[in-house]
Structure 1
Amino acid sequence: MAGIRFTIPVLASLDIAQSRQFYAERLGFTCQQQAPDYLIMARDGCELHFWLCADRAIAENTSCYVRGDTTALHADFTQRGLSLAAPTMRAWGMKELYVIDPHGNLLKFGEPA
């Protein structure tokens, strides 16, 4: 099959085990594969990959955009113990929810308004 089918963000992790725990417990992802220096987590058909990185500045300057029902995700994430601002309408016509993981990666969850 020719053409691009989908993209998979690869985010920096300062500690693979800590990333696995946060994404599983707080965001509801399941581990698909783990190596000492790499992690694959998935939820609802969405995959996120993580590579072991010693530089926190890389993670703090990285983000990814994930499409989804921001109201439902906000309810799920807060039920799982995260303290988050409610989804916000943005000037570009998207309703967005922001999560920053323990290493500084910004996840922007969004849906068309």
Structure 2
Amino acid sequence: MDVVEVRASPVLPVADLERSLAHYAALGFLTSRHDDTYGFAAWSGLELHLTVAPRAGTAEVFLHVPDTDAVAAHLQSVGVGSTTMPVDMDYGIREGSHVDPDGNLLRFGSPLTSQA
């Protein structure tokens, strides 16, 4: 099987689709809805699917970004959700995170300059 490109779109459970779409729009994502229970948030090649679901838990997504500090500064400046500023991890990644209103965790990171 020849695979030219593989792409993943994580599906995040949300309690209130309208609130989640507004949250991701405030972060700079392009948002749209499929219907009253399913929507999309796209940013820089990433597409998140948002679905109204019974509270079976939350999701976690790791985003590989070119500049962790720039992403963190942007997310922090918007002032929605909860953003943790980046720190150097012992596994060679500078990593930060953002939690949306439903508790879904977006971790983001880039290789430490000494590791690149």
Shorter-chain TM-score tier: 0.7 to 0.9
Q: Following the alignment from structure 1 to structure 2, what is the Cα–Cα distance between the partners of residues 85 and 5? A: 29
Structure 1 residue aligned with 2:13: 12
Q: 1:1-113 counterparts in 2 under 5 A?
A: 2-3=2-3, 5-25=6-26, 27-55=27-55, 57-59=56-58, 62-68=59-65, 69-82=67-80, 84-113=83-112
Following TM superposition, by how much is the alpha carbon of 1:84 offset from its aligned partner in structure 2, in angstroms? 3.0
Unaligned stretches of 5+ residues in structure 1: none
TM-score (structure 2 length as normaliser): 0.84
Given the superposition, is the C-alpha separation of residues 111 and 37 from structure 1 closer, same or farther in structure 2, using an over 3 Å criterion?
A: same
- Residue 40 of structure 1 aligns with an amino acid whose one-letter code is F
Q: Following the alignment from structure 1 to structure 2, what is the Cα–Cα distance between the partners of residues 85 and 46? A: 20
Q: Following the alignment from structure 2 to structure 1, what is the Cα–Cα distance between the partners of residues 84 and 51? A: 28
Give the number of the structure whose alpha-carbon radius of gyration is greater. 2
Structure 1 residue ranges (4+ consecutive) displaced by more than 6 angstroms after TM superposition: none
- Residue 21 of structure 1 aligns with an amino acid whose one-letter code is A
TM-score (structure 1 length as normaliser): 0.86
Unaligned stretches of 5+ residues in structure 2: none
Q: What is the aligned-residue identity percentage?
A: 33
What CA deviation, in whole Å up to 9, does each residue of 1:60-90 have, x standing for no partner? Answer: xx20111112111111112211453321111
Following TM superposition, by how much is the alpha carbon of 1:102 offset from its aligned partner in structure 2, in angstroms? 0.6
- Residue 84 of structure 2 aligns with an amino acid whose one-letter code is A
- Does the CA-based 8 Å contact 2:60-2:105 persist in structure 1? yes
CA RMSD of aligned residues (A): 1.7
Count of equivalent residues: 109
Q: Following the alignment from structure 2 to structure 1, what is the Cα–Cα distance between the partners of residues 34 and 68? A: 28
